[in-house]
Amino acid sequence: MAIKSLVPPVRTLMGPGPSDVHPRVLSAMARPTIGHLDPVFVAMMDEMKELLQYAFRTKNQLTIPVSAPGSAGMETCFVNLVEPGDKVIVCQNGVFGGRMKENVERVGATPVLVEDNWGEAVDPNKLRGALKANPDAKAVAFVHAETSTGACSDARLLCEIAREYDCLTIVDAVTSLGGSPLEVDAWGIDAIYSGAQKCLSCTPGLSPVSFSERAVETIKSRKTKVQSWFMDLNLVMGYWGGASKRAYHHTAPINALYGLHEALVMLQEEGLKNSWARHRRNHEILRAGIEAMGLKFIVKEQDRLPQLNAVTVPEGVDEAVVRKRLLNEFNLEIGAGLGALAGKVWRIGLMGYASRPGNILLCLGALDAILTDMGAAIHSGHAVKAANEVMMAK
Ligand SMILES: *Cc1c(COP(=O)(O)O)cnc(C)c1O
Residue 243 has a pLDDT of 56
Q: Whose CA is nearest to atom 12 of ligand 1?
A: 174
| 231 in a structural domain | yes
Cβ–Cβ under 8 Å, residues 294 and 378 = yes
- Give the separation between CA 108 and CA 155, rounded to whole angstroms: 26
Is residue 120 domain-shared with residue 189, that is, in the same domain? Answer: yes
Q: Tell me the residue range of the domain where 213 lies.
A: 23-269
pLDDT at 242 (0 to 100): 59
Structural domain contains residue 6: no
- Rounded CA-CA distance 213/94 in Å is 30
Closest by CA to 349, choosing from 182, 171, 174, is 174
Strand order in the sheet with 308-312: 12-14, 332-336, 345-349, 308-312
291 and 203 in a single domain? The answer is no
Q: What is the CATH number of the domain that holds 223?
A: 3.40.640.10
> Is 15 among the domain residues?
no
> How far, in Å, from the CA of 157 to the mean position of ligand 1?
23
| Pair (63, 149) in one structural domain | yes
Model confidence pTM above 0.95? yes
Ligand 1 atom closest to Cα of 195?
Answer: 7
Are residues 171 and 311 located together in one domain of the fold? no
> Nearest Cα to 365, choosing from 14, 17, 20?
14
Closest Cα to residue 143, out of 236, 56, 74, 243?
74
Q: Are residues 299 and 237 in the same domain?
A: no
Q: Which residues of 166-180 are buried (b: 16+ CB within 10 A; e: fewer)?
A: ebbbbbbbbbbbbbb
Q: What is the pLDDT of residue 340?
A: 86
Partner residues linked to 266 by β-bridges: none
For ligand 1, pick from 93, 96, 101 the residue to mutate: most ligand atoms within 8 Å of CB: 96
Of the candidates 348, 354, 344, 352, the residue with the CA atom closest to the CA atom of residue 308: 348
Predicted pLDDT at 237? 85
* Ligand 1 and 96: CB distance under 6 A: yes
The residue from 245, 269, 293 where one domain ends is 269
Decide if 351 contacts 175 (C-beta within 8 A).
Answer: yes
334 and 367 fall within a common domain? yes
Q: Same structural domain for residues 264 and 150?
A: yes
Averages of pLDDT over runs of 10 residues in the chain (394 residues) are 95 98 98 95 95 98 97 98 98 97 98 98 98 98 98 98 98 98 98 98 98 97 96 88 73 97 98 98 98 98 98 97 98 95 97 98 98 98 98 88
Residue 200 sits in the same domain as residue 346: no
Among 251, 269, 287, the domain-final residue is 269
Q: Which of 208, 234, 269 is the last residue of a domain?
A: 269
Task: From residue 267, give the alpha-carbon distance in Å to each of 55, 264, 271.
Answer: 8, 5, 6
71 lines ligand 1 (CB under 6 A): yes
Q: Which atom of ligand 1 is nearest to the CA of 204?
A: 7
Domain assignment present for residue 14? The answer is no
Q: Is the CB of 388 under 6 A from ligand 1?
A: no
- pLDDT at residue 240 in the model: 80
Please tell me the distance between residue 202's alpha carbon and the centre of ligand 1 in angstroms.
14
